[in-house]
Amino acid sequence: MSALPLATAEACDANVHLILNGELRALQPIFQIYGRRQVFSGPIVTLKVFEDNVLIREFLEERGNGRVLVVDGGASMRCAILGGNPVQQAQNNGWAGIVVNGCIRDVDEINGCDIGVRALGSHPMKANKKGFGERHAAVNIAGTRICDGEWLYADSDGILISRTEISI
């Protein structure tokens, strides 16, 4: 169900009307690029956590079906909420990508996975394991409100969020 690769710059140029009416939004350029898949897209699943990775692991144990997990980690730079093992599992379960408003770790392992990952940076300390968070909640990341079921398009130019699947 994953969309065909779409260049974000071309998508913006071809869909000015969607930008003007707010249906197509670009995230602020604050994310580092990880994983072997530089270009990825798919329907969004949202999750809100803070310095806890239990719910992230639970999501990535499910079949991804080409979806993108968008995690609002509160922009915490105090620990990593995503590591190599869950990313490997996400790759094996068919997730297209993961966007983390927070930190990751096991960067070399993640960079070997055929999946797209974006995060604010890396941190060697692991997260808590209490299971607190909100599934499928609207999140505000990088200046943009993101809702479950919207579409994400990512490449080396940036990340776009669209209310619906787009084409050029």
Q: Binding site residues, as ranges?
A: 83-86, 105-106
Residues of each annotated binding site for substrate: 83-86, 105
Which residues make up each annotated binding site for Mg(2+)? 106
* HEC per residue, the chain: CCCCCCCHHHHHHHCHHHHHCCCEEECCCCCEEECCCCCEEEEEEEEECCCECHHHHHHHCCCCCCCEEEEECCCCCCCEEECHHHHHHHHHCCCCEEEEEEEECCHHHHHCCCCEEEEEEECCCECECCCCCEECCCEEECCEEECCCCEEEEECCEEEEECCCCCC
